Amino acid sequence: MPVQKSSQESVQEYKELLENLRSRLNVLNTSIFLLEENIPNSTFRTNKYIKQINREIKRIREMILEYPDTELNKE
């Protein structure tokens, strides 16, 4: 059935997009961690900024990793 085929393709395309975003987030997360580890003489301000950045990354991660409760979860 044509509808079935196009909806299947669409679901896969959405998955691909989410996977791409997840992949970028992975790079971001790692780089922030390394940045934090390598900051010499970190100040109150830099610590505060890093903390805020990590908080936002956590929010983004929750958004991207939270799948709808459907067949999408089954891989």
Partner 1 sequence: MQGNQGLNILLIEDELEVRESYVDMFAFLNLEVDTAENGKQGLEKLDVKHYDIIVTDLNMPEIDGLETMRRVKKKDPDIEVIVITGFATIENAVGAMKQGAFDYITKPVSLEHVKIVMNKCIQKIMARKENQTLRDTNSQLRELNELKDKFITITNHELRTPLAVLRGYFDLIEMELENSGNDELTEYASIINHTITEMMDMIESMHDLSSFKKYVSKLDRAIVDINDIVTEVTKEVRVLFENRDIQFDIHTDENTLSAFVDKKMIFKAVRELIQNALKYTDKGGAVTITAQSIPARNQIYISVKDTGIGIPLDKQEMIFEPFYEVQDVLHHSTSKTDFMGGGIGVGLSLTKEIIESNGGELVVESQPQHGSTFTIILPTVAS
d(CA 20, CA 13): 11
If binding means CB under 8 A, how many residues of this protein chain bind partner 1?
54
Assess contact for 29 and 57: CB atoms under 8 A: yes
**Binders of partner 1 in range 40-59 (CB under 8 A):** 40, 43, 45-46, 49-50, 52-53, 56-57, 59
For residue 74, state whether it binds partner 1 (rule: CB under 8 A). no
Assess contact for 65 and 18: CB atoms under 8 A: no
CB of 42 to partner 1, least distance (A): 9
- Residue 48: both structure tokens together: 């505060």
R_g of the chain computed on alpha carbons = 18
Please report, as ranges, the residues that interact with partner 1 according to CB under 8 A: 1, 3-4, 7-8, 10-28, 30-32, 34-35, 38-40, 43, 45-46, 49-50, 52-53, 56-57, 59-60, 63-72, 75
